[in-house]
Structure formats: structure tokens, C-alpha cells
Amino acid sequence: MPVSVSYPGVYVEEIPSGVRTITGVSTSRTAFIGRALKGPLDSPTVIFSFADYERAFGGLSADSTMSFAVQQYFANGGGDAVIVRVANGATTASATVDGFQFDAASPGTWGSKLHLTIDRDTRDPANAGLVNMTVLLDTVEVEVLRNVVLADVTATLEQRSNYIRFAAGPAPAALTVGVPHQFANGHDGAAIVSGDLIGVDALTRTGMYSLATTDIFNILCLPPPTFLSDVINTAYQDAAKFCADHRAILLVDPPSAAPPTAATADALQNNAASSYKKNAAAFFPRLLAPNPLTGVIEEFVPCGAVAGVFARTDAQRGVWKAPAGIDAGISGISGLSYTLTDPENGELNKQAVNCLRTFPNLGSVVWGSRTLDGADAIGSEWKYVPVRRLALYMEESLFRGLKWVVFEPNDAPLWSQIRLNVGAFMNNLFRQGAFQGSSPKDAYFVKCDSTTTTQTDINLGIVNILVGFAPLKPAEFVILKLQQMAGQIQT
């Protein structure tokens, strides 16, 4: 604001530069939805390693296809993930202590292995309202909560305990000490189905719809409900639409024991309605890997491992690089459930099914990078996964980075600031090699002026920003032309 002058002299006024940095969002945070041993239900939880998953959701389970997908995600370079645990009729274990009920922190059979012991070896042993709580899982001591004020036990357990909660009645005034109390009646519920992965609707925020409450996810994985089932077609269709609404990509897994035929390709194509195919990508075949729980080589869906390859490629090369090729190796597996030939690969590729291949000296790699909108017959501008993911990255980054514009005076000074800020963001991407072109003017443009925002738009409170870019497209086919040189006869 203008300086208020009162005496003769020099006054200093700092003028805002108008530069507001637009920060790029994450590109490979992957959401997984499925069954788990424990953990909160229908509540997106961010983790950063498989060790985090083990602590929060119990680790690998023979009943959880999601647990193996998450393990393969981190084994192949995944950085962070969002986990949504779903269940079908799971119940919470509980224990009654002097008439007051304590519950396990989450539903499931795991809670029936808990034991709670109370003692008064506190800072004030004479105070009956101050206790220590020791929690055992089977025979292993997993938690000791010292100096718990019983009058505040509900909030204390919510904040400090990973295993138990105070459930029923007013906070107890005193508890019997020294007697272990075992929790009981916890149950994992029936086997889940595809509908449990999706949830009821956006209002109830269960299953997939609970992801609306998380800050961001870029990739969605729906491991099948059980090892002997597949995700049904309508569930994938709902998931593809949800991803389109949230600027994310859905990874579609192949059916179990599916052959590389036109029927398989058609089935995978039908997993997304035409309007949402650009936000989905299908991969074939499934993976063969040793099951750490049994030591036996078993079949697993590829979504978790492929999402890890996406994350690794983003970190090493950028979201504009196709997550495929000889650098896109799949770690932690012993092979693939089907060995594709080049002609079979070619047929699937034309129908926008990305193949996983095994080559000598290279191992198993991702060997395709098309969206489900990338069939040759469609001719879509969103044919390639890196092009689509780069666009989603820019959309989300600009969506978040331009919120300051709302309610600003809609005139030339604002338009100039917008061009400056968006231009700086796009130029940074250009310098990283995200676009085609040898100069910025060949690679992108930003328009926001009287030609994009008319007086009618101004009257309606609208400012229009036009951003264009020249995407890099992967060298999917490398053609070598060889010719023999005719021998020259000297004369």
C-alpha cells in the first residue's frame, strides 16, 4: 500500500513482484483397495514403505491379494501409497474390565490375540485413577502405556495406542490390576467381492469412494477380491470414471489364466467406458513369484509391480518418460504366467493391451505403454500413457497453483500475472525435457488476455486460461533399413 509521508526525506516501499510459484504435484502416489489383516476400515491411510504397511495393516496375508500387490509395489520402486482396507462383515474384538469395555483398534481376527494388563507402578502408586496399561499380541509385548489418567482414558488411547480403544461407558474411576484380560470375538468377516472394492456411493464414502477424502492419488490399483477371482467388469468401469474425475490412472489386471486372444483384449477394453479409456491402462499377463508365506511359486496380478515401475521411472526420468522398455524391469518375480511371442505381442499391442515380456539377459520387463484409448483403430490423442499422465500432472498442478486467482480483479494486471506464473511452470518443464521442440515457443504456449477472456466473461466472473504443449511420444517402433552396397568395378 502507498507509504504515508510526513517528513522530507527518502521513503522505501516494497512492491510485490507478482510471482507466485506453481509447485508440481506428486505423479505416482498409488492407491490400493482390498482386504487386510487389520487397520482402519474405509479410511485412506498414507504409508511410505512396506514396513509401514506391516505396522498399520498386518503385513502379508493368505486372504489378502492387496498385501502382495503392495509388497511388489515397494519392491519395484514405489515411493508412497494410500491404503484403503475394506471388509465384509468384520467384527471388532473386545475385553471387559470391571464392567468397562475395551475394543481392539480395528476390526478383525487379529484383535482376539490381544491381552491387556493393568498395573499401578506409576509416578503416583497411591492414585487409583492413574495406571499403566501393557498390551500383548499373543505372547509378545507390543505396547506399554504409562501413567494413563483414567478420567481421560478415551482420548489417551486414541492418541497413544496403536492397539486398543476405550469403548463403553464413562471413563472408569479404578480398574483391577495384575489380571490379564484377553480380547475375544474379533472376526475378519466373509470374503470380499468386487462391490466391496468400489463401495456404496460417494455419500457414504466407503471403498473406492473413501479416496475422495485423501489429498491426492495418481494411480489406482484394484487387486482382485481373492486369488481365485477377478475384478468384475462393472467395478473397473466405475473405477475408470472415478479416476477420470480425480485426474488419476487406473491399472487394469488381466483375468486369471487368460490366453492372449482377441477375446481377452476385448474383455480388457470393456473395463472402461469410451469416455474414460484415456484414464486406464491394461497389462498382460500375470506374474509368477514365490509366495513368502509358503515358499511356493504362485500367480499374482501385475498392478502393484507395474505401479512401482511407474514410480521408479518418474523418479529417474520424469512422468513424460514411458514406464516401459529395457529399464522397466520387474523385480522380485520368477517369470510370467504366459510367454508371449512377437506376433502375439503385436496383436495385443494394436488393441491397446500392454504386454509384459521376458527377454534373455534382461529378465521380465514392461513392454507397452498405451492407455485403453490407444487401440490403433481409435486414433486417440491420448494413445500413450506418458502423454496422458503428463497432462494429468499439469492439470492438477495448475489447478492447485492457481487458486489464488479466485476473487482477484479480473483485468489486464491479473492476466499478466497468470501468464507469468503459468509460463514459469511450463518453462521449467521444458528445461527438464518434458516437451517436444528446441525452444519454448515450439514446446508450449500460455494465453490469458482479452482474446481468451471477453467482456461477457468478465461480467460473468470468468477468466479463461489457455495452455498448450507439444508432448513427447515414445519411440514405440524402431525401424532399421539395411542395404547392401553394390561392388564397384574399377576401370
In this prediction, residue 410 carries a pLDDT of 96
CA proximity to 122, closest of 160, 98, 154, 148:
148
Provide the b/e sequence for 181-209 (b: ≥16 CB within 10 Å). Answer: bebeebbbbeebbbbbbbbeeeeebbbbb
- Each residue of 276-294: pLDDT tens digit? 999 999 999 999 999 999 9
DSSP code, position 403: G
Locate CATH 3.40.50.11780 in the chain: 30-87+193-386
- Each residue of 179-206: pLDDT tens digit? 899 999 999 999 999 999 999 998 999 9
- Each residue of 39-83: pLDDT tens digit? 999 999 999 999 999 999 999 999 999 999 999 999 999 999 999
In this prediction, residue 48 carries a pLDDT of 97
Alpha helix stretches (DSSP H) within 437-491: 440-443, 455-459
Question: Is the separation of the CB atoms in 457 and 382 below 8 Å?
Answer: no
Range in 245-249, 255-259, 280-284, 348-352 the model is least confident about: 255-259
CA proximity to 217, closest of 66, 21, 47:
47
In this prediction, residue 173 carries a pLDDT of 73
3-state helix, strand, coil in the chain (%, to 5): 30, 20, 50
* DSSP string across 357-382: EEETTTEEEE---B-TT--TTT--TT
In this prediction, residue 472 carries a pLDDT of 93
Residue 444, H or E segment = strand 444-447
In this prediction, residue 454 carries a pLDDT of 95
> What is the phi/psi pair of residue 164, to 5°?
-130, 160
Q: What does the block give as the cell for 490?
A: 574399377
Q: What does the block give as the cell for 374?
A: 490407444
In this prediction, residue 13 carries a pLDDT of 87
Range in 134-143, 167-176, 269-278, 464-473 the model is least confident about: 167-176
Report how far apart, in Å, the C-alpha atoms of 40 and of each of 132, 242, 455 are.
Answer: 25, 22, 52
Locate CATH 2.60.40.4290 in the chain: 94-182
- Each residue of 427-450: pLDDT tens digit? 999 999 999 999 999 999 999 999
In this prediction, residue 349 carries a pLDDT of 95
CA separation for the pair 464, 455 (Å, rounded): 12
* DSSP string across 242-276: HHHHTT-EEEEPPPTT--SSHHHHHHHHTTS-GGG
> In Å, how far from its chain's centre is CA 368?
21
pLDDT higher than 70, residue 295? yes
Question: Binning pLDDT at 50, 70 and 90, where does residue 232 land?
Answer: very high
Q: What does the block give as the cell for 363?
A: 529378465
In this prediction, residue 486 carries a pLDDT of 73
Report how far apart, in Å, the C-alpha atoms of 312 and of each of 32, 103, 133, 208 are.
Answer: 17, 40, 43, 25
CA dihedral 197, 201, 202, 208 (to 10 degrees): 0
CA separation for the pair 121, 478 (Å, rounded): 74
CA separation for the pair 318, 435 (Å, rounded): 11
- Each residue of 131-168: pLDDT tens digit? 999 999 999 999 999 999 998 999 999 999 999 999 98
CA proximity to 101, closest of 119, 121, 116:
116
CATH 1.10.357.140 fits 94-182, yes or no: no
CA proximity to 181, closest of 131, 147, 128:
131
Phi-psi region of 39 (alpha: psi -120 to 50; beta: other; left: phi over 0): left
Residue 235, H or E segment = helix 233-245
CA separation for the pair 332, 377 (Å, rounded): 36
In this prediction, residue 28 carries a pLDDT of 96
pLDDT higher than 70, residue 127? yes
Question: Binning pLDDT at 50, 70 and 90, where does residue 101 land?
Answer: very high
- Each residue of 7-40: pLDDT tens digit? 999 998 888 777 788 999 999 999 999 999 999 9
CA proximity to 366, closest of 315, 331, 391:
331
In this prediction, residue 55 carries a pLDDT of 94
User: What is the number of alpha carbons within 13 Å of residue 408 lying toward its C-beta?
Assistant: 16
In this prediction, residue 1 carries a pLDDT of 62
* Level-2 CATH architecture, domain 30-87+193-386: 3-Layer(aba) Sandwich (3.40)
Q: If you average pLDDT over every residue of the chain, what do you get?
A: 94
* Residue carrying C-alpha cell 494411480: 219
Residue 397, H or E segment = helix 385-401
In this prediction, residue 17 carries a pLDDT of 77
